[in-house]
Amino acid sequence: MKTLSPRTSAVRVAVFSLLAGVAPLAAQQPYGRATVGSGAWAPRLSAPQPRGGDATFAFDLQCANGSSPAFMFLATAPGSLRILGVDLNVDPTTVAASWSGFTSAGGPGDGRTTFPLPIPVIPSLVGFPLYAQALVIDTAAAGGIAASRGLRFAVAGVPSIFVACSIIGNDPFQLVDPIGGAILDTGAPPEVDNVTGAEFDLAGDRVFTASSIRGIIGVGDTSSLPITWSTLYTSPASSTYGVQLDRARQLCWTLTAIGGGSRELVAIDVDRTSPTYGAAVHTTVSMLTGNAEIWDLAPSGDVAAVLTYLPNSITIVATDPASPTFLQNRFTQLTIPVDQAGPLTLATRVAITPDERYALVTLQGVGTTPAEIARLDLATGSWVDHDPAGFATNIGPFSVPPIVMGSAPTSLQVSGDGRYAIVGGFGGCGWVGRLDLDPKNPLAVTYTAFAPGVPLANGWTAALSNDEKEICIPTWPRTGCALSAPQLVRLDARTGTLLSTIPIPPNTNGSNQNLYTCVYR
């Protein structure tokens, strides 16, 4: 049974008061090294991003030894001290709150518990850095203590949703209030022309965009409205596919064509105090050949996965500047397996699990062919077999158990604890569902199709909010789908229940709205 440290409640007030004087830093990602325990399992600490006034916020500890004493420490600075065989990832001199309790019953890797931290409404708290780590008493660990990686996080401010499109010229964006349903800002600057990806920093005062048609990375200052836009980086090859942030190292990664059309990952300095701000500071060399536009960066920023299509392959790249293999391929263009026969199959999305053990890849067949999801073991470079009898490999209609999803998958996002993924696509009148995963057992997979009661026509994107409470899906009219105008659909992330629909102004491209980007602030 878990017990909360008696000093936590009093110290929590001091922590939040202290933060009013700390310089802001957007953060919520794993960092440092874990210390393994029983069964070679390392405890895993995770949390969705909290917002002010969130009384239910809690950290989740899993994959620890069962029935073991567990502790969590919250600090105002990271650490890198090794003591008693443990990598201490928080600065012990800045620890301001602690929790203690016991993990749930079970064996190695079965233990789980939570550490609650109700968040007060303090506007000056938004964006300030906090650092957490969990320790578990475990006699099988070196020094008798197993430990999680550190977790860097920040409190978010007022929510909004950024929606962008691709209509080849004069492409508008919308900044939407999800609660009130109002359009807060709109416009068509060059930085949002043909957007192939967008991401907020976690303080919420900047949104980064990739314009593939202009080959630029844009940055919008969202600290006040209307948004002020500027160009951060221009690719020498006039192409930028996607944008993802390594918030700890203040790097913005994109995929671009450099030299002879080869695809390379490029890291851009987004530290506004740096003399190299806006410059490409890291670039892969000869990463892969072929057609590549889809990729993913792990939450820690330490590893990336890049897909090619025609033929389908995946490349895994080290993106941790401290790694001796930085910018080198761990695996190069591994062929992605397909279980369902057909004239054409495309790899459409990739997502790295938060523990960096697996990469998930969605596969689209022709017509109404149900989606498949291939799972690559990043430790071995082998594909996980989801059919013990050997007939099939991927999660899909032939796996055990059978998982029947919709067709034409184009959305894949894994939750912060790695226990589920949101999957969706534009097949039929659009679809979205929740794929439940077990971090300890990759074969324990279930799928729940959501039925919100409204068309999800052309639902190319299903994005999970930072607090993991809801999903946004931009939709627009499609023949036979009973939808007369573009709208943003909001669903409960756990149940798929409809929360609201918000009208999106039609753009100048008529029926082809191409609302391919939707991200939460």
CATH classification at residue 86:
2.60.40.10
> What is residue 127's predicted lDDT score, i.e. its pLDDT?
81
Please report which confidence band the pLDDT of residue 388 belongs to, taking 50, 70 and 90 as the band edges: confident
Residue with the bigger pLDDT between 238 and 71: it is: 71
Mean pLDDT of the chain: 91
84 lies in some domain: yes
pLDDT tens, residue by residue, 99-130: 999 999 999 999 999 999 999 888 878 888 89
Helix (H, G, I), strand (E, B) or coil at 233: strand
Tokens 């709205």 label which residue? Answer: 513
pLDDT > 70 in the chain, percent: 93
pLDDT tens, residue by residue, 28-63: 689 999 999 999 999 999 999 888 889 999 999 999
Structural domain including 131 reads 8-153
203 has a pLDDT exceeding 80: no
8 has a pLDDT exceeding 90: no
30 lies in some domain: yes
Residue 343 CA to residue 270 CA, distance in Å, equals 43
423 lies in some domain: no
Q: Which pair of tokens denotes residue 109?
A: 């890797």
468 lies in some domain: no
Residue 351 CA to residue 205 CA, distance in Å, equals 25
195 lies in some domain: no
Helix (H, G, I), strand (E, B) or coil at 246: strand
371 lies in some domain: no
pLDDT tens, residue by residue, 352-384: 999 999 999 999 999 999 999 999 999 999 999
Please report which confidence band the pLDDT of residue 328 belongs to, taking 50, 70 and 90 as the band edges: very high
> What is residue 28's predicted lDDT score, i.e. its pLDDT?
63
Residue 267 CA to residue 378 CA, distance in Å, equals 22
Please report which confidence band the pLDDT of residue 476 belongs to, taking 50, 70 and 90 as the band edges: very high
CA distances 424 to 142, 149, 453, Å, are 43, 31, 15
Q: Tell me how far apart the terminal alpha carbons of the chain are, to the nearest angstrom.
A: 36
> What is residue 22's predicted lDDT score, i.e. its pLDDT?
33
76 has a pLDDT exceeding 50: yes
Triad 13, 17, 20: Cα angle to 5°: 150
pLDDT > 90 in the chain, percent: 79
Q: Which pair of tokens denotes residue 337?
A: 């397996």
429 has a pLDDT exceeding 70: yes
311 lies in some domain: no
* Strand stretches in 181-297, DSSP E: 183-187, 195-200, 206-211, 216-221, 228-234, 241-246, 251-257, 263-269, 280-283, 295-297
> What is residue 26's predicted lDDT score, i.e. its pLDDT?
35
**65-90 average pLDDT score:** 94
Cβ-based neighbours of 295, under 8 Å, separated by 6 or more = 241, 242, 255, 265, 304, 305, 306, 307, 350
* Domains in the chain, number: 1
**315-340 average pLDDT score:** 97
CA distances 9 to 15, 97, 117, 175, 184, Å, are 10, 8, 9, 37, 37
Helix (H, G, I), strand (E, B) or coil at 457: coil
Count Cβ atoms within 10 A of the Cβ of residue 25 and give its class: 0-12 exposed, 13-18 middle, 19 or more buried. middle
Residue with the bigger pLDDT between 258 and 382: it is: 382
Q: Which pair of tokens denotes residue 271?
A: 């530290």
Q: What is the pTM of this model?
A: 0.92
pLDDT tens, residue by residue, 117-167: 999 888 878 888 899 999 999 999 989 999 999 999 888 888 999 999 988
Q: Which pair of tokens denotes residue 162?
A: 């950024």
> What is residue 511's predicted lDDT score, i.e. its pLDDT?
64
CB 188 within 8 A of CB 172: yes
Residue 416 CA to residue 421 CA, distance in Å, equals 9
74 lies in some domain: yes
